[in-house]
Chain A
Amino acid sequence: MIVQYPTSSALLDYADHKPVSNSGKPVEDIVVAGSGITQCFSRAQSKIAKDLYLGQIQLVDLSTHMTPPTLLRALVSLNRIGTMDLTPFIFVSGSPLPDVMDTPGNGAQFPTLYYVTQETCVDCQPVNLSIHLWQFSSDALTPGVDPHLPYVTVEPNKNVTVNRIALYRHLQFIVALNPQQTADYGLLKGLAQKLTLAVPYDHATVRDIHGYSRLSTHLKGGQIQARFHIVLQGTLANLRSITDTTTDNAIIARESSEILSRQCLAVLTFTQQHDIDPWGIGRMLNWQHPDAFARYPHWHHEYPRVEMVVHVQMQLHKLGDLK
């Protein structure tokens, strides 16, 4: 746990209405280790004569090595801190916490704001990956859905990259999706913004792909079917020919829809192989067909057998068209 408190010079600057960055570090860190939040906190308190306050937790960093019982205990104690809003961001990382925190960033003054921008996926073009503590707790405690978190990688050159999604089965870390899968994950969740896709036809590129996704579950004679209906809009760019016809547009729209739905299906199959349901298909089944869901005491036994259907509907705009 890292406990931060304002340095005296920063407080003086603040009193004089000067920007904090003028005099170096705005906050001082105390790094402590312990088996629980309370223990860490009392250790930090014993290191310093100032009064520390546990209400303002900015960020929760989980380790990939955390065992489910430890994670559960940590979650429970975080949820029990009555004075805290459950809004701090939470992520998972394979690197130790001090390494993650030591990386330079432009958000020293506004840590909360910083992580909102930081946790947009760099490679897979902005999927907003940030997760609040209450969102994670909600997923962890709801039957029929597995929680997921942004996976923070510390590069050898001390840069932080957030371009992957860590998948959990209950509270056990299983696997992290690669950047490509993360982009498709964003599509399936309806989070994708400004995605770019190269289409073989006429070497066209579709950029600025964004839209929403709707999940629904259906029962077909005992077989569960999960349907993802993804409605996307994109802008056509880099066409070789100067003018594009309606036919060209239709072909490119169809091709890009096909490519995207194939990619999405691949991610869905990947999660079925690992038996992780981050989409909340079980949860949706519970909401739409509660009796059917009640028949499965262990959703994870049933999840790999779910039939997945992805329907992508792409609408193309020409570059410069008004939407």
Chain B
Amino acid sequence: MLNKELGISELSGIQFGTIVTAGYLALGIFYFPRELVSTAGRGGIWALWIDGLVTFLSMKLNFAMSRLAPSQTFVQFVGDLVSTPVALVLDLFRVVYHLGLAVLITVLFTSFMGNDFLPGTPTWALAGIAIVGAVYIASFGTTALARLLQVGYIPMMLINLLSLGLTITLIKYPLLLLPPLTIRPIPIFEAAYREFFIFIGFEVSITLYPFVKPRDRNRAELYATGGLGLVLFSLTFMYETCIAAFGPSYITYMRWPTVTLLRAVEVSGFFVEKWGSLVITLWTVAVLGFLAVRLWCVVHDIAALHFVHSIKHYRYILLPTAVAVYVLGLSIPNAAITNDLTEKLFIPAGVIQLVVIPVFVLIIGRLRPTTVAKLRKRTTRTSTHSS
């Protein structure tokens, strides 16, 4: 599959890093850090760092897998490597999984907006706004998506981080800033499992990898890892301010702790006194970004399944996918159900996606070096063609 011939422009390293970063974080951010604190108490910070480490390692694994055939997406090359039926199962699993994540974020966004900002607006309208926005962003293809995230997502993250700095004024108990030294491993691991949700979604990288300019690939990996570092830093910051302002017991009673924290910030004298509330509405950018990245990913995976023969049909697949997400999203009545679904289905599925499949594919790759060499050869030829 020749990228240039298909009219796909190529991404720079930082664009790749931004899309991959926008591909996670949005789902778990609403609950954060409730799951950590309710399971592990003050030890939640260790759980967060464990999650960060696991994500870092699985990111490495996924990049190693992508490097088997750098110019092809997972769905394109996996059929040649493992047999076609196995590949079909893996691919379908991937499509369903990404579709599910898109549905979850739609439901979360809808209930969050409905609860906190627009109580009178009907659910279908809120979900519709999110999906139409995401479809619009995704419809222009990879480069447009990347550029939009670059101008929307990165400033949003920065403003968010700076505003979180204001919450330092709410800190009542600096003692709580210190990570606790009495470590109880079982609750910490349990919390790490339940909070892993926040990092799920970056596996979009294995579909995205071939779209990066070949000479930028090493830098792209660096940017994605840097993005993870930044996310981990800001999550740690959020966790610390939240727990030091509210105390560990109160957080477990809250629906959206970080939202409450930002809304409790009052900048008296500034012309927008409720600056925190304003910043929370900017989270919409993160949600739309996440949803757009998901839709993009699902559509590319479906297209590569050879149900249709070219990525030129991108927009025609995008629309039915979005409709499916919308309908499924409306069929879930509230955010408590998504919470349950996440714990029982999506975290295990995410672990399979992020760890089990890469390990499996890498082992097969090691066992069949000739096939990998053939793939590489084709890939190199592809990239010479395309450049």
Q: List, in ascending order, chain A residues with CB within 8 A of B250's CB.
A: 134, 137-138, 141-142
Q: List, in ascending order, chain B residues with CB within 8 A of A64's CB.
A: none
| Interface presence of A287 (CB below 8 A) | yes
How many Å lie between the Cα of A113 and that of B266 in the bound state? 12
Expressed in whole angstroms, the minimum distance between the Cβ of B116 and any Cβ of chain A is 5
How many Å lie between the Cα of A101 and that of B106 in the bound state? 44
Q: List, in ascending order, chain B residues with CB within 8 A of A132's CB.
A: 264
Q: List, in ascending order, chain A residues with CB within 8 A of B247's CB.
A: 138, 142, 283
| Interface presence of B274 (CB below 8 A) | yes
| Interface presence of B263 (CB below 8 A) | yes
Q: Out of A82, A87, A284, A290, name the residue touching B264 (CB < 8 Å).
A: A87
Count B-side interface residues using an 8 Å CB cutoff. 25
Fill in one digit per residue for B176-189: 1 if any A CB lies within 8 Å of its CB, else 0.
10001010000000
How many Å lie between the Cα of A143 and that of B115 in the bound state? 28
| Interface presence of A83 (CB below 8 A) | yes
Q: Which of B220-268 contact A (CB under 8 A)?
A: 246-247, 249-250, 253, 255, 260, 263-264, 266, 268
Q: List, in ascending order, chain B residues with CB within 8 A of A85's CB.
A: 260, 263-264, 274, 277
| Interface presence of B175 (CB below 8 A) | yes
Fill in one digit per residue for A14-35: 1 if any B CB lies within 8 Å of its CB, else 0.
0000000000000000000000
CB–CB A134/B246 < 8 A: yes
CB–CB A87/B249 < 8 A: no
CB–CB B264/A134 < 8 A: yes
Expressed in whole angstroms, the minimum distance between the Cβ of A295 and any Cβ of chain B is 14
Output the nearest chain B residue to A134 by Cβ-Cβ distance: B264
| Interface presence of A291 (CB below 8 A) | yes
Q: List, in ascending order, chain A residues with CB within 8 A of B182's CB.
A: 290-291
Q: Out of B172, B176, B266, name the residue touching A287 (CB < 8 Å).
A: B176
| Interface presence of A86 (CB below 8 A) | yes
CB–CB B264/A86 < 8 A: yes
Expressed in whole angstroms, the minimum distance between the Cβ of A182 and any Cβ of chain B is 19
Expressed in whole angstroms, the minimum distance between the Cβ of A38 and any Cβ of chain B is 13
CB–CB A141/B253 < 8 A: yes
How many Å lie between the Cα of A8 and that of B42 in the bound state? 52
Q: Which of B167-206 contact A (CB under 8 A)?
A: 172-173, 175-176, 180, 182
Q: Out of A86, A137, A283, A291, name the residue touching B263 (CB < 8 Å).
A: A86
Q: Out of A82, A138, A288, name the residue touching B246 (CB < 8 Å).
A: A138
How many Å lie between the Cα of A25 and that of B119 in the bound state? 31
CB–CB A86/B260 < 8 A: yes
Fill in one digit per residue for A51-92: 1 if any B CB lies within 8 Å of its CB, else 0.
000000000000000000000000000010011011100000
| Interface presence of B117 (CB below 8 A) | yes
Pick the most buried of B180, B264, B266: most chain A CB atoms within 10 A of its CB: B264
- Judged by DSSP, the binding face of A is helix
How many Å lie between the Cα of A284 and that of B268 in the bound state? 31
Fill in one digit per residue for B117-157: 1 if any A CB lies within 8 Å of its CB, else 0.
10100000000000000000000000000000000000000
CB–CB A287/B175 < 8 A: yes
Q: Out of B119, B249, B274, name the residue touching A141 (CB < 8 Å).
A: B249
Expressed in whole angstroms, the minimum distance between the Cβ of A135 and any Cβ of chain B is 8
Q: List, in ascending order, chain A residues with CB within 8 A of B176's CB.
A: 287
Output the nearest chain B residue to A291 by Cβ-Cβ distance: B182
How many Å lie between the Cα of A138 and that of B246 in the bound state? 6
Q: Out of A113, A134, A141, A283, name the residue touching B260 (CB < 8 Å).
A: A134
How many Å lie between the Cα of A154 and that of B277 in the bound state? 35
CB–CB A82/B115 < 8 A: yes
CB–CB A142/B260 < 8 A: no
Count A-side interface residues using an 8 Å CB cutoff. 21
Whether A143 contacts B264 in the complex (CB less than 8 A), given A82-B116, A290-B182, comes out as no
Expressed in whole angstroms, the minimum distance between the Cβ of B189 and any Cβ of chain A is 18
How many Å lie between the Cα of A310 and that of B116 in the bound state? 44
Q: Which of A111-137 contact B (CB under 8 A)?
A: 113, 132, 134-135, 137
How many Å lie between the Cα of A148 and that of B348 in the bound state? 45
How many Å lie between the Cα of A220 and that of B249 in the bound state? 27
Expressed in whole angstroms, the minimum distance between the Cβ of B167 and any Cβ of chain A is 12
How many Å lie between the Cα of A288 and that of B42 in the bound state? 11
How many Å lie between the Cα of A142 and that of B117 in the bound state? 28
Q: List, in ascending order, chain B residues with CB within 8 A of A135's CB.
A: 172
CB–CB A143/B249 < 8 A: yes
CB–CB B274/A82 < 8 A: no
How many Å lie between the Cα of A288 and that of B176 in the bound state? 10
Q: Out of A82, A87, A143, A288, name the residue touching B255 (CB < 8 Å).
A: A82
Output the nearest chain A residue to B268 by Cβ-Cβ distance: A113
Expressed in whole angstroms, the minimum distance between the Cβ of A272 and any Cβ of chain B is 22
Q: Out of A83, A134, A288, A291, name the residue touching B116 (CB < 8 Å).
A: A83
Q: List, in ascending order, chain B residues with CB within 8 A of A137's CB.
A: 250, 253
Whether A83 contacts B249 in the complex (CB less than 8 A), given A287-B42, A287-B175, A291-B182, comes out as no
Expressed in whole angstroms, the minimum distance between the Cβ of B31 and any Cβ of chain A is 15
Q: List, in ascending order, chain B residues with CB within 8 A of A290's CB.
A: 41, 180, 182
Q: List, in ascending order, chain B residues with CB within 8 A of A287's CB.
A: 42, 173, 175-176
Q: Which of B99-123 contact A (CB under 8 A)?
A: 115-117, 119
Q: Out of A83, A87, A288, name the residue touching B266 (CB < 8 Å).
A: A87
How many Å lie between the Cα of A279 and that of B264 in the bound state? 23
How many Å lie between the Cα of A82 and that of B117 in the bound state? 8
Q: List, in ascending order, chain A residues with CB within 8 A of B172's CB.
A: 135
Expressed in whole angstroms, the minimum distance between the Cβ of B172 and any Cβ of chain A is 8
Known: A134-B264, A283-B247, A290-B41. 17 other contacts (CB 8 A): A82-B116, A82-B119, A82-B255, A83-B115, A83-B116, A83-B117, A83-B119, A85-B264, A85-B277, A87-B263, A132-B264, A141-B250, A142-B250, A143-B249, A287-B173, A287-B176, A290-B182
| A–B Cβ pairs within 8 angstroms, 12 of them | A85-B260, A85-B264, A85-B277, A87-B263, A87-B264, A87-B266, A134-B250, A134-B260, A141-B253, A287-B175, A288-B175, A290-B180
Residues of B that sit less than 8 Å from A by CB: 41-42, 115-117, 119, 172-173, 175-176, 180, 182, 246-247, 249-250, 253, 255, 260, 263-264, 266, 268, 274, 277
List the 7 closest A-B pairs by CB distance, nearest first: A82-B115, A142-B249, A138-B250, A85-B263, A82-B116, A141-B250, A142-B247
